[in-house]
Amino acid sequence: MPDAPFAVQMENIVIRFPGVLANDHVNFTLKQGEIHALLGENGAGKSTLMSALSGLYKPTSGIIRVSGKPVSFNSPKDAIAAGIGMVHQHFMLVPTQTVTENILLGLDTPRFFMNLPAYDGKVLALQEQFGLRVDPTAKIWQLSVGEQQRVEILKTLYRGANVLIFDEPTAVLAPAEIAGFIETMRSLVAQGKSIIFISHKLQEVEAVADRITVLRKGKVTAEGFLMAGLDRAKLAQLMVGRDVVFAVKKDVQEPGGTILEVRNLQAANNKGTPALRGVDLSIRAGEILGIAGVAGNGQSELAECITGLRVCEKGSVQVDGRELANQPPIAAIQSGVSHIPEDRTRVGSAPNLTITDNVIMKHYRAAPIGNGRTIDAGQATQYAQELKRTYDILAPSVRTLARKLSGGNLQKVILSREITANPRLIVAVQPTRGLDVGAVEAIQEHLLAQRRQGTAILLISEELEELLTLSDRIAVLYDGRVMGVAEAATASVEEIGLMMMGTVQEA
Amino acid sequence: MRFPVTLLIEKRTDEIPGWLPAATSIGSVIAAFVVSGVVLALIGANPLIVYQFFFKATFGSWPALSDTIVKATPLIMVGLACAVAFKMKLWNIGAEGQLYLGAFFASTVVLVPLVPPESPKWLVLTAMVVMGMIGGAIWGFIPGYLKAKFDVNEIISTLMLNYVAILWNNFWIFDRWSDAGFQMTPTFVRTAWLPRLSDYAREYRMFSGITLHLGVIFGLVAAIVVWWVLSRSRWGYEIRLIGDNPHAARYAGLNIARNVVLVMMFSGALAGLAGMSEVSGVVHRLQERISPGYGFTGIIVAWLAKLNPFAVILVAILFGALIVAGREVQPSGISQMIQGFVLFAVISSDVLLRYSIRLVRAAPVEESA
Ligand SMILES: Nc1ncnc2c1ncn2[C@@H]1O[C@H](COP(=O)(O)OP(=O)(O)OP(=O)(O)O)[C@@H](O)[C@H]1O
Ligand SMILES: [Mg+2]
């Protein structure tokens, strides 16, 4: 569609936050029927630019045109009326209501009498058209993350969106779901929709994007480049302004004594059904044990049992010989267990506290930050500034509130806090989710440095590539059981893939 | 027909400037007085004269100012009590009951008596302060424990315990310690009275008739303590963390149940101190209706002060003045009306913090055939 008309033109967009120029005279165009990838480092201003297009923010200056006509949005409602819909990274669905009810939520029709079955039919027709299958009568809480995402997409389509904006849609999806999502995007553009796609995963961008725009520190560094003719290395270079290695090097090293010992661990999930059905694991000092598996096979529950956040029904969790199962979280913290949680906003941070208050969350009890009954504000600030520098956290100051950080920078706040706690064991759940390629590399280096210092690391990830690069051994979880453990050096992707589907491997 | 201008209400995306919350609060208080003035004018009074009288009766002279501060004193402590609990999103609306129980416990020092009647003043007063705070803390402990242990909603339990506390006091006032059948205990011995400025009238003539008592110092000290706890101490950090995100607090190893109990006790102790200050500084006996609903006004005070301990002092003085004005200006409903308007205006002014509101010219309607 090289000569297709523009669906959206954004000209000289400036968006300023106190202390931050989030978008600095940004130009961006979207052609009808294309998939346009928006790339850039953490905090480059991607979400902000798209929030302006979807009516959430008003640009300080600049012009937005939709189908050539200048528009001025005062709310997301105005944007959707102009045919622009955004699917946010954090879904906005009501868990106790059905798919159809969620799709109708906030619309003027139906007015009073719901007559849901009729609308279920409408929703089904829409699903048929775009190949987005999900039971319209199912309640949201019964759905997987991938299905919930489909509901969000249906919601925007039902409202008549022609331009769809996806902000890091694949960050929360399992690899198998990602393939399905890419298919969905293709079928959407095949039917005339136009898509803006934000992602840090360059192979996806390579696979679907027609054109790309790259932001760096609020400015455009590549405007509407054709994807054809670019490769991953070039993309990475455009994003971070330097070459990215892509493969961090892990030294061969002999692990030390056992640190984590998990025996016959059994636990239920939030719905009360069994999630762990007798898990045995052990990790030695200086060793990284990767946990592979399709999301929902017990990974979250395993992490929560070790860190004291979940009740264990049976079995034991020992760190350096100390029993931690069914102990309060403080016991794990005092035993030197760090935890990079899966949900960075709900669990990992306090949105209305400052960066400083967020990074001292686990260090405020002891000197030098804790000082008897008081907190030494000077020490706390100094510590936060040090982390901000070392981990390259982009924010005006350490007094910035956590909720104002970009997704990736919030993740860095959590990572920096957990890695610098001098841990014996790090339980890392999706540690590099939402990070740009440069930051992924930096964090992987930090984890490997911990490994060199003799820290045991439990790495739960859905990215096989990451598991294979970082882990010494990889255990595969399927339906609450360990299907097998493979040496990362010799394991093949196929072998692990089979175990993830529940096939037992002969040793 | 279309209106030539429309009101455009947009959610704020920009940072609100630091002075805006204070400005809207002050602005809404002024607005409340303006609206009340209109109502006064409609019923045939001259609002300027009424307000002039108001001002004279509340701030216009030393005795008037003293009266205002005496009324503000319990409001400061009760407002702080609510602010502490609200900071952790614990909705303690039982400050009234905690105040009554504080008054009761403080009174036991004299009425049981817990210290010999001939004890020196400092000992009696210290014992009363300690007992008052213990009494309030007990009344905070009960709902706190129920919430921590059984997840009992603290709004309901604290509200109900208010009635229990008032009836408990009545039992002792009517049945046990009644002064010749009246609904009050005998007057306390002088050593149980908080020092007042009028006590020094012999040395300083200007203090004669000025009833300002030491309780106000308790309130000011309490404000400093609350400020220090919330913004400087480790515990205050924990309170803020739990208040902002309890999931994160649990993840960070905090014992939330324990903090619920402790914060409710701290909150109760502050309200209990207000009860002590009232019996020992104002009425000098335990009696029915020691509080005309200070505990409930405290909720409003804390809220209007946006949980800032020093702002609590200012708001408490405003409400103290309104109470005094209600006594001096007849009908007393006028002052209550203003209170209502102030509350209404300040709460609705929050909209200004979250939305920006502009008048814009309506877009011309496109005629379609
Ligand atoms: N509401 C806000 N108030 C103040 N600053 C903000 C606000 N929202 C975003 N910012 C700042 O604007 C900059 C751009 O943020 P944005 O969320 O657009 O980044 P991003 O490119 O989406 O990054 P990521 O890949 O990490 O999600 C960041 O420095 C961020 O801290
Ligand atoms: Mg973002």
Inter-chain residue contact A58 with B251, CB threshold 8 Å: no
Could you tell me which residues come within 8 angstroms of residue A64 by beta carbon, excluding any fewer than 6 positions away?
A8, A9, A10, A11, A13, A52, A53, A70, A71, A72, A73
Domain count, chain B: 1
Q: Which residue from B61, B28, B7, B80 is spatially nearest to A74, judged by alpha carbons?
A: B7
- Indicate if ligand 1 lies below 6 Å from the C-beta of A218: no
Which of residues A177 and A314 earns the better pLDDT score?
A314
CB-neighbour burial class of residue B235 (10 A; exposed 0-12, middle 13-18, buried 19+): middle
Strand, helix or coil for residue A360: coil
In this structure, are residues A475 and A290 in contact, taking their beta carbons and an 8 Å threshold? yes
Measured between alpha carbons, how far is B356 from A79 in angstroms, rounded to an integer? 19
> Beta strand pairing status for A288-292 and A274-284?
unpaired
Could you tell me which residues come within 8 angstroms of residue B110 by beta carbon, excluding any fewer than 6 positions away?
B117, B124, B128, B188, B189, B192
- Digit-coded pLDDT (tens) for B224-275: 999 999 999 999 999 999 999 999 999 999 999 999 999 999 999 999 999 9
Measured between alpha carbons, how far is A429 from B2 in angstroms, rounded to an integer? 57
Report the residue from A18, A57, A329 with minimal CB separation from B15.
A18
Q: Which residue has the least CA distance to atom 7 on ligand 1?
A: A404
- Mean pLDDT value across residues A404-425: 93
Residue with tokens 């990362």: A488
Q: Which residue from A54, A50, A102 is spatially nearest to A79, judged by alpha carbons?
A: A54
- Mean pLDDT value across residues A288-309: 93
Specify the pLDDT at position A507.
Answer: 46
Angle CA A11–A15–A17, to nearest 5: 175
Strand, helix or coil for residue A340: strand
CA distance A244 to chain B (A): 34
Report the residue from B8, B14, B244 with minimal CB separation from A353.
B244
Name chain A contacts of B253, Cβ cutoff 8 Å. Answer: 328-330, 332-334, 362
Residue B152 lies in a domain: yes
- Mean pLDDT value across residues A175-195: 90
Res. A113: pLDDT tops 70: no
Q: What CATH number is attached to the domain comprising B200?
A: 1.10.3470
Measured between alpha carbons, how far is A5 from A195 in angstroms, rounded to an integer? 14
Q: Which residue from B105, B147, B114, B164 is spatially nearest to B286, judged by alpha carbons?
A: B105
This complex has an ipTM of 0.87
- Indicate if ligand 1 lies below 6 Å from the C-beta of A17: yes
Res. A339: pLDDT tops 90: yes
Q: Is the peptide bond before B309 cis (omega within 30 degrees of 0)?
A: no
In this structure, are residues B305 and B311 in contact, taking their beta carbons and an 8 Å threshold? yes
Q: Would you state the torsion angle of the CA atoms of residues B132, B133, B134, B136, taken in this order, to the nearest 10 degrees?
A: 90
Write the single-letter amino acid at B27: G
Specify the pLDDT at position B12.
Answer: 61
Beta partners for residue A484, in sequence order: A476
In this structure, are residues A35 and A210 in contact, taking their beta carbons and an 8 Å threshold? yes
Which of residues A270 and B217 earns the better pLDDT score?
B217
- Indicate if ligand 1 lies below 6 Å from the C-beta of A45: yes
Return the structure tokens found at A168.
Answer: 């890091």
What are the φ/ψ torsions at residue A178 (nearest 5 degrees)?
Answer: -60, -40
Specify the pLDDT at position B363.
Answer: 52
Specify the pLDDT at position B362.
Answer: 56
Q: How far is the centre of ligand 1, averaged over its atoms, from the C-alpha of A198 (Å)?
A: 14
In this structure, are residues B102 and B136 in contact, taking their beta carbons and an 8 Å threshold? yes
Specify the pLDDT at position A461.
Answer: 92
What one-character DSSP code corresponds to residue A24? E
Query: How many C-alpha atoms does A294 have within 13 Å on its Cβ side?
Result: 14
Q: How far is the centre of ligand 2, averaged over its atoms, from the C-alpha of A5 (Å)?
A: 28
What are the φ/ψ torsions at residue B245 (nearest 5 degrees)?
Answer: -155, 95
Inter-chain residue contact A330 with B15, CB threshold 8 Å: no
Residue B88 lies in a domain: yes
Specify the pLDDT at position B14.
Answer: 59
pLDDT, mean over chain A: 90
Residue B3 lies in a domain: no
Measured between alpha carbons, how far is B204 from B295 in angstroms, rounded to an integer? 35
Residue B40 lies in a domain: no
Return the structure tokens found at B227.
Answer: 């400020």
**Per-position b or e across B172-190, b if 16+ CB within 10 A of its CB:** bbeeebeeeeeebbeebee
Domain that holds residue B185: 73-360
Which of residues A52 and A89 earns the better pLDDT score?
A52
Hey, which of A48-62, A343-357, B31-45, B212-226 has the most confident mean pLDDT?
B212-226
Residue B184 lies in a domain: yes
Q: How far is the centre of ligand 1, averaged over its atoms, from the C-alpha of A13 (Å)?
A: 15
Inter-chain residue contact A347 with B251, CB threshold 8 Å: yes
Which residue positions in chain B have pLDDT lower than 50?
1, 364-369
Radius of gyration of chain A (CA): 24
Return the structure tokens found at A259.
Answer: 């640190």
Residue B96 lies in a domain: yes
Q: Which domains does chain A have, with CATH numbers?
A: 6-240 (3.40.50.300), 245-336+423-507 (3.40.50.300), 349-421 (no CATH)
φ/ψ region of A33 (left if φ > 0, alpha if ψ in -120 to 50, else beta) reads left
CA distance B127 to chain A (A): 26
Measured between alpha carbons, how far is B338 from B327 in angstroms, rounded to an integer? 14
Residue B10 lies in a domain: no
Q: Which residue from A201, A235, A230 is spatially nearest to A215, judged by alpha carbons?
A: A235
In this structure, are residues A261 and A267 in contact, taking their beta carbons and an 8 Å threshold? no
Specify the pLDDT at position A335.
Answer: 95
Q: What is the pTM of this model?
A: 0.88
Kindly state whether A367 is in contact with chain B, defined as any CB-CB distance less than 8 angstroms.
Answer: no
Residue with tokens 């409408």: A122
Measured between alpha carbons, how far is A20 from A1 in angstroms, rounded to an integer? 36
Residue B247 lies in a domain: yes
In this structure, are residues A201 and A170 in contact, taking their beta carbons and an 8 Å threshold? yes
Measured between alpha carbons, how far is A190 from B153 in angstroms, rounded to an integer? 54
